[in-house]
Amino acid sequence: MDRRQRKTRDAIFKAFIKLLSHKNYHQISVQEIIDVADVGRATFYAHFETKDYLLKELCEELFDHIIGTARGGEYHCTFGSAEDSVFLHLLRHLQENDHNILGLLSSENNEIFIRYFKSNLKKLVMSQYAENGKLKDAALPEEYLINHISSSFVETVSWWLSHKRRETPEAVTTYFLATIEPILQERG
């Protein structure tokens, strides 16, 4: 994608995020997105087949960036220590609020974004824990643990947002790790 195409795509994403912060996803029309982004209808459809495809691409870009940096970083996969935890990295990244991701996660459209967030978290948990053998000895099935850890972290982020991020990412990570550690310490 050349620079001009990337700039147009970013304008569409920004317009869509702006609209999502004020309106329900199902109430937003492609025409509104086009008007706010100041692009033509053909330009919009050259980038995105539908509004649903735009949503999918937006979520993939946002969460792939956040989760991708966590996967590629030098973060420890320990459960007991918050320091340098992959979960701490995610919370710090969310706190930076790139592309107003916190607004999207706490908006009336949040169920859409939470679903994508959880899906990407499952991939992260698989790559950081399951593929490294860290869930193999647990008394519970690996697939269950992946789902449980991902769901618990999503709920932790939701709790953190509902409390207006009063707690530091370090404190929230400590809480989260304390809740999942007992499950993983029970060896079969």
**Domain of 27, in residue numbers:** 1-48
Q: Is the pLDDT of residue 150 over 70?
A: yes
Regarding whether 88 and 33 lie in a shared domain, the answer is no
Regarding whether 179 and 88 lie in a shared domain, the answer is yes
Strand blocks (E) in the chain: none
What is the number of domains present in the chain? 2
Regarding whether 80 and 16 lie in a shared domain, the answer is no
Q: What is the pLDDT of residue 127?
A: 81
Residues sharing a CB contact under 8 Å with residue 133, sequence separation 6 or more, in sequence order: none
Regarding whether 165 and 103 lie in a shared domain, the answer is yes
Q: What is the pLDDT of residue 184?
A: 67
Q: What is the pLDDT of residue 185?
A: 62
Regarding whether 142 and 75 lie in a shared domain, the answer is yes
Q: What is the pLDDT of residue 31?
A: 97
Question: 53-94, pLDDT tens digit by residue?
Answer: 998 888 888 777 777 766 665 554 555 566 668 888 888 888
Question: 15-62, pLDDT tens digit by residue?
Answer: 998 888 788 888 899 999 999 999 999 999 999 999 989 988 888 887
Q: What is the pLDDT of residue 39?
A: 96
Segment 135-160 mean pLDDT: 88
Question: 105-145, pLDDT tens digit by residue?
Answer: 776 667 778 888 898 889 888 887 777 777 877 678 889 99
Regarding whether 84 and 22 lie in a shared domain, the answer is no
Residues sharing a CB contact under 8 Å with residue 1, sequence separation 6 or more, in sequence order: 9
Regarding whether 109 and 31 lie in a shared domain, the answer is no
The number of beta carbons lying within 10 Å of the beta carbon of residue 185 is 12
Q: Please give the C-alpha separations between residue 51 and each of 5, 115, 165, 175, in angstroms, as whole numbers.
A: 18, 17, 31, 38
Regarding whether 78 and 119 lie in a shared domain, the answer is yes
- Tell me, yes or no, if the pTM score tops 0.95: no
Regarding whether 108 and 34 lie in a shared domain, the answer is no
